[in-house]
Chains A and B, each alone.
Chain A
Amino acid sequence: MPKQYLTKEMANNLYWFGRYIKRLEIELDAVEVTFDKVIDVDPDAGRTLFARLGATLHYKSATEYLQEAIYGEHPVRLFEIVQHLRENAIIARNYLHADTFAAVIQLHRHFAKHEHSIYDVDYHFFDHAFEMILQIWGGMHQYLQYHKSDRFIQLGEMIEKVDLRIRLDEQMEFALLLLEDIDVVAKSLTPDYRQERMTGLRPEKMLQKVNRIIDHIVVDKNAKL
């Protein structure tokens, strides 16, 4: 296998590509589950979910909730994640499997097409989005683990999983388990990587440390000197 050269910018880009896919997948799933509750179980379920994500959501019905979650004027709208994902994919396309890249482009088109229609965001919308997310993963798993570029995506995916699990459910034990896997991937990218101690930390502190892992791997040479 030929040696792969990766710049700091590209490594960061791939890392965030992994984070955005995972973020989209988890949040889309959470929105779909909450949508069901908003219908007739807990009208505030959507507001609670987004409060944990850091946004205040306003809606009067379950349908409006979906619209707001995906396209609303707030910093964690799901469409924003898809836009970032597309940008990352375009910049890093020469490191991505063609099917992965194409699925991202299609996913973005799917979201963009429905942006101005309140009626179009329904379960079909979600089904289709999940299918394309599966295609993105599928394209990557065709050769995941072989190149450094794939491992940056994988690292991003794992960090995002830990981050969201802490934010949404405070699943600390699950997070600690995942951190062991993160350690393996991080070491494969930077052999002298040493993970900071995470056990017994409060969620906020742990979030901070988890999000700083990338800074130990992708370094600025001047900073290192």
Chain B
Amino acid sequence: MLHEHTKLMDQFWKIFEVQDKHKIKDFNNYMEKFAVNFNLYKDGQFIERPFPFDVIPRIIGSKAFARLDAGVSQRVTALNLFLEDIYSEQRIIKDKIIPEHFVLNAKGYEPGLKGFMPPKGIRSHISGIDLVLDSKTHDWVILEDNLRVPSGASYPLSVRNIFRKIYPEFFEKMPIRPILDYPQQLRKTMDYVNRGGINVVLTPGRFNSAYYEHSYLAQLMGAVLARGHELTVIDKHLYLKQYDGSNVRVGALYRRLDDDFLDPARYNPESLIGVEGIMEAYLAGNVAILNAPGNGVGDDKGIYYFVPQMIRYYLDEEPILSNAPTYLPVFEKDMAYILENFETLVIKDVAEAGGYGVQFGNRLTELQREDLITLIKKDPRRFIAQEVIDFYDEECYINGQIVPRKADFRVYVTMTDKPQVWPCGLTRFAMEEGNYLVNSSQGGGFKDTWVMEVPDA
């Protein structure tokens, strides 16, 4: 695989060498011109900014990608089965594969949904699986599953359009897989579970970090973009309120906000961005919600530890892709290991996301370390510890120079009767050398990802 990758990169560099580098600025011009933004909140201020882009793509050969495809498909299938099981018979608990308290204490577990079967039994319709390429094993390692509202697909999707125009030679000479049908893939996913009515993308609104994405995807997949107050529930059916006073039924809702804010009647009563009564419509089987409420239990950082066991349990298969070595402080043995090896581990708060709540043991002061250990001992379910994976750098073209930067990779999987992996993904890189935090909300940038056909030898 490494050899395959080197060959593909050589092909890339050969073409890149003779390209007019002045045109690189056209990417930024495009991002600014079309406000391809990932906005940030910093010190209480809303900052609109284009998502920083790097021109050198991550290149993955088709054989390597086939393995990734199989691995994440297997994982998403198992996670869907897990969610179905947890909200029905809870066999995996009864069979003592996962401790009961671990599931029931997960922040995202919604006991009120037990016994409810969502349309077609699918709960994670659009999943984002975060991976890194381990520089020691040269293999992909899964860092995190995102089964609630994984964002980011629109950025490589929109940049691919312009990439083809700025540097067509790459696409003429290299067998790069097309990706522009992702919106159709999403639409197919919505149509598959639609309960009769139109498809709607629910956005928290214009000041959300990813509003650009909500708007762009809605437009391309032919769905209506709406905010909570533009929808209403009547007799357990969800409707879009039209300008002339009429209502049109909604059959599938791709919500881009967390469970907490989805329905003030059921969850956070102060939510102004949800739809009052939507859960009633959902539980009556009259509308599909993508992704399903209650999925937080499946992508809980603590539950992540058990995904390889889930794959064995539900699919009777060995996991194709590995987790990062992970330790759970709730287990005595793991707690002892964590305390002994604190310096070499990264500690994650299971309730946080977007790179928040991540602390590297070797970067803490003595006082910070003591404070964190006290917290871990007090509430061990709240934390996990992982070995720091020394993942590969991706080469980036920054200020006219080619420099290494840590980069991860989010793969998008949609689910209908079977999982479908998008032959692209979001490659995020850290802006500073050596920084392992690549999250967009931490100021990281993104690259395009090219899956390239590799002929059989």
Q: Real complex partners, A and B? A: yes
Chain A interface residues (CB < 8 Å from chain B): 2, 5-12, 87, 90-91, 93-94, 98, 101-102, 105-106, 109, 189-190, 217-221, 224
- Are A190 and B244 neighbours in the complex by a CB distance under 8 Å? yes
Q: Taking A2-B222, A94-B215 as contacts, is the C-beta distance between A11 and B206 under 8 angstroms?
A: no
Please, which residue of chain B has its CB at the minimum distance from the CB of A221? B245
- Per the 8 Å Cβ criterion, residues 1-58 of B in contact with A are 32-35
Check B240 against A90 for contact (C-beta < 8 Å). no
**A5-B198, A6-B243, A94-B225 given as contacts; is B215 within 8 A of A106 (CB)?**
no
- On whether the beta carbons of A94 and B218 are closer than 8 Å, the reply is yes
Interface size grouping (class) on chain B: 20 to 34
B241 A221 Cβ-Cβ under 8 A: yes
B210 within 8 A of A: no
B211 proximal to A (CB < 8 A): yes
In the complex, what residues of A have CB within 8 A of residue B240's CB?
A: 5, 7
Given A11-B243, A218-B243, output 7 extra A-B contacts at Cβ < 8 Å: A10-B243, A12-B243, A94-B215, A94-B219, A101-B35, A219-B244, A224-B245
Would you give the shortest CB distance from A75 to chain B, in whole angstroms? 23
**Which B residues have a C-beta under 8 Å from some C-beta of A?**
32-35, 198, 206, 211-212, 215-216, 218-219, 222, 224-227, 229-230, 240-245, 247-248
* Nearest Cβ on chain A to B437's Cβ, whole angstroms: 28
Residue of B whose beta carbon sits closest to that of A104: B35
Docked Cα-Cα span, A90 to B35, in Å, equals 8
Q: Chain A contacts of B32 at CB under 8 A?
A: 105, 109
6 sample A-B contacts, Cβ–Cβ < 8 Å, listed by A number: A7-B241, A10-B230, A87-B206, A91-B206, A94-B216, A221-B247
- Report the minimal beta-carbon distance from B237 to chain A, rounded to whole angstroms: 15
Return the chain B residue nearest A4 by Cβ: B224
Q: Which residues of B contact A217 (CB under 8 A)?
A: 243-244
A94 / chain B contacts, CB cutoff of 8 Å: 215-216, 218-219, 225
Which of chain B's residues have a CB closer than 8 A to the CB of A6? 242-243
Check B243 against A219 for contact (C-beta < 8 Å): yes
B206 near A8 with CB under 8 A, answer: no
Query: Please, which residue of chain A has its CB at the minimum distance from the CB of B222?
Result: A2
B225 in contact with A90 (CB, 8 Å): no
- Which residues of chain B have C-beta atoms less than 8 A from A101's C-beta? 34-35
**A94 and B34 alpha carbons, distance in the complex (Å):** 12
Q: Within the assembled complex, what's the spacing in Å between the Cα atoms of A220 and B215?
A: 24
Residue ID in chain B nearest A15 by CB atoms: B243
Report A-chain residues with C-beta under 8 Å of the C-beta of B206. 87, 90-91
Distance in Å: Cβ of A121 to nearest Cβ of chain B: 22
Q: With A94-B216, A94-B219 in contact, is A8–B35 under 8 Å at CB?
A: no
Which residue of A is nearest B247, CB measured? A221
Q: Determine if A105 and B245 form an interchain contact, defined as CB atoms under 8 angstroms apart.
A: no
Looking at B215, B240, B241, B243, the one whose CB has the most chain A CB atoms below 10 A away is B243
Whether A7 contacts B242 by the Cβ 8 Å rule is yes
**B34 and A98 within 8 A (CB):** yes
